[in-house]
Structure formats: C-alpha cells, structure tokens
C-alpha cells in the first residue's frame, strides 16, 4: 500500500471507480483480456451501454457486436442475462452484498470480491493471476495455482493479508504490483519494496514461481465456409448449440475432420469447382487461437440463385449489412480480402441469376 501510494503510476479508466455496474463491466472484460487491450472495449462498451438499464434493454446482437475481437463470448451473454435479472429481481439496483453478487451469472469469487471491495469497501480479497504471483513468490509457495488445493491455499492467504479497513486500496495495490513490478517475465525485483522479505528473490526462485500444472492438449479443428452470392446478397446463419461462437453469425459451414484433406482442399476445389465455373474462388487459410483449441478456416465463394438454396434456413444480407452482425474473428480474417473480390463482382453485375 505504501508502494501504491508513492510509486504506482499505473493509470486505468476503472481505477478509483465506485459505481458497481462500471466495475462489473471492467472485471468481466478483464477476465480473459489484458488491461491494455481492455481499455478500448471498456470505453466503447460504456459509451453504448452507460447504465445497467440500457444493457438489459439492448438486443443480444448489439452486445455481441461491441464484443467482437475479445473472444469468450459467453462473458457478453452472461452480462446481458445478468443485467436483465438484476432489473427483475433487484429493481435495477446492483446488489451490495458479497453473497448476492457471487450468485449472479458469470460472477465468480474473484469478480465478486472485486466488486464488493471496490464499490462497497467490503473486506474480501481479490485473487487474480497477479495476486497468485505475488503471494507465491513472496511466501515461497510451490503448490499448483490452478489446482483445488492451490486455490484454497492462496484464497485463504490472500484473505489473511488483506487490510480489512481499506480493502479497496489493498486489492488495487497488490494487483498493480503484480502487473507492473512482480511481472511473469523479467520482474523488477531490484526496485521492489518487498524484496527484503521475498522468498523467491532471496532464493533466486522468481523464474520457478508460481507453479502451474501442465497445459491441456490443444485440439485442432478445420472449418470450411461457403459464401453464397445472389442478387447482391450473401447467405449467413446463426450458430447455435453449446459449441464455440454460440449466437454469433457465420457463413454456412462444414467441419472437416481430416487435417490432410483440409490442407488439400484448395487444389481439389480448383480442379472440381472453379475450373468448371461452379465456384468463383477459394480463400487462403486463416487461423484463430482459442484457449484449448486452434481453428483453421477457409471459404469457397459461390455464385448462386435463391432457388438453389430455397430449402436452406439462411438469412440473406447485403455486403454493407454484414457489419451489423457479430462474426467470429476467424471470419473477419477470411472476409478481409474476399469482400474486395465480392464487391468487384457486385460492381460488374446486377446479380440477376447469379454472376454470369
């Protein structure tokens, strides 16, 4: 706290914030996002949904549009549902006790502690990656931080260390210390005020702490999209189910299970479709890294007529209208160059009966 008062220069738009709604928005954004990247989304989100009431009334599609690029879209969906639930169960007033905050959808112990301490000065310690790192190094704890035992140990220790008379100041101080001084790589140990008592510094263990269990195997997936063009419009569909990108939009898609087949698709498509004028082009492969999977995608651009796809449950939108629909980042990468090609075709033809 002394370091925080005298030396901490970290400036973030949500620091010193007392409004629980705005704190909640910042914490949800920061769950899987670096603070530097989160600033843009935080400001943009609040410019559109300045109050909980506005968020609750907004269509989910509009919320997703502002979330594009952040990933983990269930965060946005949970926020939207929670805002509506607060409107119904709490008359639009954000709850002010820890247990009720913790019961909100999408809110875990860390987020509940952050909102409770920063908005209401309640004595709950936050335990994020920065806090794990500071505590692990300072006390010399080598228990896996992502294990059940580790979570209990660090949560208990964080609560013991908390300054209960000023929890909001203490929580901000230890998080900022971890973010700017006790960093994952190349920590600034020489200038750290805690070094005289820090186990890791005294025992040259900073590179070994904290300890995480082995990473899970990353799954590879291969998506083939079809961009159907007719009458100046393209076909899109809404993703459903419990898979990635739920409720986002995409071009009609087929998942290819065979990696070798996917790699050879460009040649196959050229020989069987493009050379026979049944397709216009095939895109290069784009890639999106998710937490436990990597998704590779490419798209075939087809000329089509409405009658060709009359039994398909697609939504038809103009090229200009695409920006009004939330798409996964992978498709934005695919569309970057392909839309230029599509627009060229649009300028040359009225799309009557396809592109011939």
Question: What does the pLDDT read at residue 339?
Answer: 57
Range of weakest confidence among 9-13, 122-126, 159-163, 348-352: 348-352
The residue-averaged pLDDT of 279-300 equals: 88
**What CA–CA distances, in Å, run from 204 to 144, 208, 301?**
19, 9, 57
Identify the CATH class of 127-214: mainly alpha
- The pLDDT value recorded for residue 270 is 82
Residue 30: closest CA among 110, 105, 136: 110
pLDDT of residue 59: 95
Give me the active site residues, please: 27
For the chain, give every domain's residue range.
1-124, 127-214, 219-348
- Taking the C-alpha atoms of residue 116 and residue 99, their distance in angstroms, rounded to an integer, is 10
User: Same fold for the domain at 1-124 and the one at 219-348?
Assistant: no
pLDDT recorded at residue 260: 92
Q: What is the mean pLDDT of residues 246-266?
A: 91
**pLDDT over threshold 70, residue 18:** yes
Q: What is the pLDDT of residues 269-283, one digit of tens each?
A: 888 887 777 888 888
Query: What is the average pLDDT across 53-69?
Result: 93
The two tokens of residue 238 are 């809404």
Q: Is 29 exposed, middle or buried (0-12, 13-18, 19+ CB in 10 A)?
A: buried
Query: Model confidence over 176-193: pLDDT tens digits?
Result: 999 999 999 999 999 999
Pick the CATH number of 1-124 from 3.40.1280.10, 3.40.50.1700, 1.10.340.30, 3.40.50.300: 1.10.340.30
Q: Above 90 in pLDDT, residue 7?
A: yes
Instruction: Give the CA distances from residue 135 to residues 41, 112, 117, 152, in Å, rounded to whole numbers and listed in that order.
Output: 30, 20, 19, 13
Given a cut of 50, whether residue 354 has pLDDT beyond it is no
H-run or E-run covering 334: helix 329-348
The CATH code of the domain at 219-348 is 3.90.79.10
pTM of the model: 0.79
């Amino acid at each position: 706290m002394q370091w925080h008062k005298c030396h901490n220069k970290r400036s973030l738009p949500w620091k010193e914030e007392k409004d629980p709604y705005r704190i909640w928005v910042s914490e949800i954004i920061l769950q899987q996002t670096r603070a530097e990247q989160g600033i843009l989304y935080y400001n943009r989100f609040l410019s559109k949904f300045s109050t909980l009431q506005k968020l609750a009334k907004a269509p989910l599609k509009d919320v997703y549009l502002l979330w594009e690029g952040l990933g983990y879209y269930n965060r946005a969906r949970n926020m939207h549902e929670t805002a509506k639930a607060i409107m119904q169960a709490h008359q639009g007033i954000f709850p002010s006790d820890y247990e009720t905050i913790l019961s909100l959808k999408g809110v875990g112990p860390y987020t509940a502690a952050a909102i409770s301490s920063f908005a209401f000065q309640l004595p709950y310690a936050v335990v994020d990656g920065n806090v794990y790192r500071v505590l692990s190094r300072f006390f010399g704890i080598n228990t896996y931080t992502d294990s059940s035992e580790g979570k209990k140990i660090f949560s208990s220790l964080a609560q013991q260390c908390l300054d209960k008379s000023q929890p909001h100041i203490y929580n901000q101080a230890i998080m900022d210390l971890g973010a700017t001084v006790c960093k994952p790589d190349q920590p600034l140990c020489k200038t750290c005020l805690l070094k005289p008592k820090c186990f890791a510094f005294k025992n040259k263990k900073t590179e070994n702490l904290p300890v995480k269990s082995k990473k899970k195997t990353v799954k590879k997936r291969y998506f083939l999209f079809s961009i159907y063009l007719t009458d100046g419009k393209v076909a899109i569909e809404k993703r459903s189910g419990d898979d990635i990108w739920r409720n986002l939009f995409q071009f009609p898609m087929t998942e290819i299970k065979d990696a070798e087949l996917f790699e050879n698709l460009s040649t196959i498509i050229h020989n069987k479709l493009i050379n026979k004028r049944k397709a216009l082009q095939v895109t290069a492969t784009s890639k999106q890294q998710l937490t436990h999977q990597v998704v590779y995608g490419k798209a075939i651009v087809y000329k089509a007529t409405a009658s060709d796809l009359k039994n398909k449950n697609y939504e038809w939108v103009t090229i200009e209208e695409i920006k009004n629909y939330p798409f996964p980042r992978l498709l934005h990468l695919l569309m970057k160059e392909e839309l230029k090609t599509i627009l060229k075709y649009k300028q040359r033809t009225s799309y009557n009966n396809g592109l011939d």
